[in-house]
Structure 1
Amino acid sequence: MKFVVYGQQGRLGVIQGDRILDLALAAHAGGTVADDGEVFTSLLTLIEAGDRGLDRVRRLLEQFEATDQPGLHTDLAATHLHPPFPGRRFAFAGGNYAAHVARGYANRGRPITAEEVYSKTREGKAGGFWVVSPPAGPHSDIPVPNSADGLFDYEGEVAVVLGKGGKRLSADRWENRVWGTTLVIDWSIRSHTEIAFQAPFYAHKNFDNSKSIGPWITVDEVDPNCCEVETRVNGQVRQRFNSRDMIHSFGELLEQISEDLTLLPGDVLSGGTGPGTAVDSTIADPDGHLPLDLFLKAGDIVEVTSPHLGSLQARIVASA
């Protein structure tokens, strides 16, 4: 099942072929509004309803599979999709793909193998950060941040949406905590002088429209620890990797994050990016500066795709 938030009113729907079934209207048409209550009023309420909510969606899909009842369906290709973000918290793993990290160091004159990166990183805990600004959705315009100074980068990622919260989760029993899987673009500001650049207050990762999410959340159809991802900039393939190459798996990330923090249904965790970003594909000049050729500029089109997870596209625009 693929869940979307769509239309002018930001309604909750599920994709049915090339159409979107409006879940609230379908529940009303099916005569079960009293039973469903608030389940279909928002993405978060559906997530919080757990298995009961998903079972009801399955029945509605079966009930209205062949119907042409007016108003229940919307053409997927002709409607505006909003970010399928539950409105909770958004966490990101950092430096979680060995090839991405190794290429970044090598291009700055500090060669290290991906195997060495993997081994050293596994000796400690995973790194990462939280994002505080609401994410953009599919086909959004992403302004180049004023502070980017030409070093504006893309990172295609796979993310999981939690269906159950908790504290001190186990890396061996994490699957029942995950509600669905989606795509993310982590827009990032880089630095000429620092490989692992960290601006004050993590401003290089937190700015308006600093993340994109979508186009939908896939439930029950994909293993988030084994997703093929491809990133294209203006049609040119820049990234091609699989989430199975993460240094720390989603289960391990959830275990570490929840050691002293209670996670909530609707929290989103993105697993990091693979090789092929502008920063790990650019060789520094002799003076240590990075040529700007591969970094993003106004007019660029970035598209991240994955089987079952769809296509998440954005257009880069000049800062206001």
Structure 2
Amino acid sequence: MKICNIVIDQKDQLGIVLDHHIIHIRKALEVLPCEGIPQTVSEFIEVGAESTIRIASYLQTLRTTSDQPYVFEKEECHFGPVVTHPSKIICVGLNYRRHADETGAAYPEVPILFNKFNNTLTGHLKDIAIPNVTEELDYEVELAVVIGKKAKNVSEDHVLDYVLGYTIANDLSARDLQMRTPQWLLGKTCDDFSPIGPYLVTADEVGDPQSLALQTTVNNELRQDSNTSDMIFNCKEIISYISKHFTLEPGDMILTGTPEGVVLGQPEDKRNYLKPGDVVTVEIEKLGALTNTFIEEK
């Protein structure tokens, strides 16, 4: 199942993507009431895998022609971040071989973890202001794992059973702030530095997370072009490793690293960092494409 977060009157509401349309669940329930159907992404995550069963059964009773009041065209929708209130946003640094190569870094022996906060979350097609405190804003396409069940000390053999689904993230990074100290946090946590979405695709539809193509374009110019098979630590290893150190909760997100092609990986005289007016699209196979326009901070 593919879900999204539609923002209407500043309220988050659950959408289900069917073909080229989006079913607005709350409006559908006004037409055909039914108990136990989640109406927001947060409720979908709280119910867990049972959500897909309930909604799939419910949708079979609905007409999904475009003349229905609960059917929206994608172009009509205002998308919010597809996960709205994660208790944790955990990121993995230097997790692609060719990305480590381009930056001259040694391959890590264990996953390099850092965190971001909810202030960094924004959605598809939202404008993002480039903070005045940076002159070196970089893009990073990343596969984001969304946890569906509480996970603690889970083995690699079973850990994907705890994954609700996957989405796209752009781990925006202010390199001058990131490299100012040994801790990367400052360069990673400015407002809107984690656009995610537009969709959350359940794990059953994605299948193997280690065979997904991923790309970044800036103003339609291809910058990143790789595959999740190039990860140093795969999703099973990452999630299991984290779960051995602290508990993962439903809705937690893990950003699994970025491949080669970032601005930082270019020779210094060829580094063209993001500037106002740039349009960045990050895309992952089976998950869709996430686009944001960058503007000047007021």
Tell me the TM-score normalised to structure 1 length: 0.85
CA distance in 2, matches of 1:200, 1:176: 32
Change (3 A) 1:166 1:182: same
Residue 301 (structure 1) aligned with residue 279 (structure 2): yes
Corresponding residue number in structure 1 for 2:55: 57
Does the 8 Å contact 1:198/1:204 carry over to 2? Answer: no
Quick one: which amino acid aligns to residue 243 of structure 1? T
Match of 1:141 among 119, 127, 135: 127
Residue 316 (1) aligns with residue 294 (2): yes
Question: Once the 2 structures are TM-superposed, how far is the Cα of residue 54 of structure 1 from its aligned partner?
Answer: 1.0
Instruction: Give yes or no for contact 2:49–2:148 (8 Å, CA) kept in 1.
Output: no
SS at match of 1:81: coil
Q: Give the deviation of 1:7 after TM superposition.
A: 3.5
Q: Does 1:215 align with 2:214?
A: no
8 Å contact 1:16–1:61 — kept in the other structure?
Answer: no
Aligned pairs for 1:151-166 within 5 A:
151-166=136-151
Once the 2 structures are TM-superposed, how far is the Cα of residue 69 of structure 1 from its aligned partner? 6.6
- 1:274-294 Cα deviation digits (max 9, x unpaired): 0000011x21xxxxxx33642
| Paired position in structure 2 for 1:32 | 34
Per the alignment, residue 2 of structure 1 pairs with 2
Q: Which residue is equivalent to 2:46? A: 48
In 2, Cα distance between equivalents of 1:78 and 1:159: 25
Rounded Cα–Cα distance in structure 1 between residues aligned with 2:244 and 2:48: 23
Given that residues 229 and 239 in structure 1 are in contact (C-alpha distance below 8 angstroms), is that contact kept between their aligned partners in structure 2?
yes
Mapped partners of 2:31, 2:121: distance in 1 = 33
Q: Distance in 2 between matches of 1:243 and 1:269?
A: 14
Contact 1:164 1:265 in 2 (8 A): yes
| Secondary structure at the counterpart of residue 208 of structure 1 | coil
Alignment match, 1:95: 94
Identical positions, percent: 28
Contact kept, 8 Å, 2:142 with 2:169, in 1: the verdict is: yes
SS of 2:60's equivalent in the other structure is helix
Q: State the Cα RMSD in Å.
A: 2.1
**2:136 and 2:261 mapped to 1: Cα distance?**
15
Q: Which moved more, 1:290-299 or 1:252-261?
A: 290-299
Q: Are the aligned partners of 2:175 and 2:187 in contact in 1 as well (CA < 8 Å)?
A: yes
Report matched runs for 1:192-211 at 5 Å.
198=181, 202-211=185-194
| 1:272 aligned counterpart, secondary structure | coil
Pick aligned residue for 2:23 from 12, 15, 21 = 21
Aligned to 1:287: none
Contact 2:153 2:244 in 1 (8 A): yes
Q: How far has the Cα of 1:51 moved from its partner?
A: 2.8
- Preserved contact between residue 305 and residue 312 of structure 1 (Cα < 8 Å): yes
Find the structure with the greater CA-based Rg: 1
CA offset at residue 198 of structure 1?
Answer: 4.5
Cα distance change on mapping 1:66 and 1:85 into 2, 3 Å? closer
Question: 1:182 matched to which residue of 2?
Answer: 167
Aligned residues: 292
- 1:266-285 alignment, distance < 5 Å: 266-280=251-265, 282-283=266-267
Task: Quote the residue 1:108 is aligned against.
Answer: none
CA contact (8 A) 2:114 2:184 kept: no
CA deviation vs aligned residue, 1:215-250 (integer Å, no higher than 9, x gap)? 110112113222111100011000011112111111
* CA distance in structure 2 between the aligned counterparts of 1:172 and 1:244, rounded to whole angstroms: 18
What do the CA deviations read for 1:119-176 (whole angstroms, capped 9, x no partner)?
xx2xx3100211112411001111112222x211000111111111121121221111
The Cα shift of 1:68 comes to 5.6
Native 8 Å contact 1:86 1:267 kept in 2: no
- Whether the aligned pair in 2 keeps the contact of 1:230 and 1:304 (CA below 8 Å) is yes
After superposition, give the CA deviation of every residue in 1:172-196 in whole Å (9 maximum; x if it has no partner): 211110111110001101149x9x6
- Does structure 2 retain, via aligned residues, the 8 Å contact 1:95–1:127? yes
Contact 1:163 1:265 in 2 (8 A): yes
Q: Which runs of 5+ in 2 are unaligned?
A: none
Structure 2 SS opposite 1:273: coil
1:75 aligns with 2:73: yes
Structure 1 alignment gaps of length 5 or more: 106-111, 284-289
- 1:30-61 CA deviation, whole Å, 9 max, x = no partner? 4422xx0xx41321221121232110111123
Aligned partners of 2:123, 2:66: CA distance in 1, in Å?
A: 29
Aligned residue type for 1:234 = N
Alignment CA distance shift 1:69-1:166 (3 Å): same
SS in 1 for 2:283: strand
Kept in 1: contact 2:120–2:189 (CA 8 A):
no
Structure 2 CA distance for aligned equivalents of residues 17 and 40 of structure 1: 21
- Distance in 2 between the 1:151 and 1:48 partners? 38
